[in-house]
A = this chain, B = another copy of it.
């Protein structure tokens, strides 16, 4: 096995193991992947394997068409959704899918998570959108691929790294980033932001969206060209 692929498997394994540690998954739910853009290979969690029995070497390698290239397990049943996103967005290097409690509740409610505060704006430069429902036809044939299609339809012309996550209607969140670690990081933040937004709306159903200038300031002080958050 190639050294860089081995390293990627270790990264994807570590990122997957972070899901239960952050309380984002129950049992075998959830999956994280990453892409090797040069080799056009994706590393992803095996389907339905328990986290506490999983090893780095159990990660599955597939090509851009979803064909298994390496690994003794079948890849995650959501692999086609991951592929659809990697194909469309060259900037995405890692993807995390969970059924985390509060983000999933917003998806079930069929509503976008409104941008209400600086915690949200530190990571997401706008509302976290909820996709339209899939049609019966889209569910019947190539369901997981079509899930990627409606996600892309919702992202539209936006930079996917500016709002690095989305809610699939009646399903749950997909998050992404420049690599697997960032994707999981954004999944943790989305769950926290989803919980805060639920409570804030419960306290004051007539609250206002975050002021535009405050949102832009927080996003840019962390991610803009003149960012001054953190050590650089």
Binding site for B on A (CB under 8 A): 26-29, 46-49, 73-74, 77, 99, 101-102, 104-111, 116-119, 133-134, 136, 139-140, 143, 170-172, 185, 188-189, 192, 195-204, 207-208, 210-211, 213-214, 217, 221, 228-231
Residue in B99, B133, B172, B231 whose beta carbon sits within 8 Å of that of A47 in the complex? B231
Chain B residues with CB under 8 Å of A211's CB are 133-134, 136, 139, 170
A109 touches B213 (CB 8 A): no
A105 to B117, CA, bound (A): 9
Contacts A116-B170, A117-B171, A230-B48; is A104 near B196 (CB within 8 Å)?
A: yes
B231 touches A108 (CB 8 A): no
Chain B residues with CB under 8 Å of A201's CB are 109, 203
B119 touches A104 (CB 8 A): yes
Q: Chain B residue with minimal CB distance to A102?
A: B199
Q: List 16 A-B contacts (CB under 8 A).
A: A28-B230, A29-B119, A74-B228, A74-B230, A77-B228, A101-B199, A104-B117, A105-B196, A106-B203, A108-B200, A111-B203, A119-B172, A133-B214, A143-B217, A143-B221, A170-B214
Instruction: Count chain B CB atoms within 10 A of each CB in A27, A47, A108 and give the residue with the most.
Output: A108
B213 touches A202 (CB 8 A): no
Shortest beta-carbon distance from A183 to chain B in Å? 14
B47 touches A188 (CB 8 A): no
Chain B residues with CB under 8 Å of A28's CB are 230
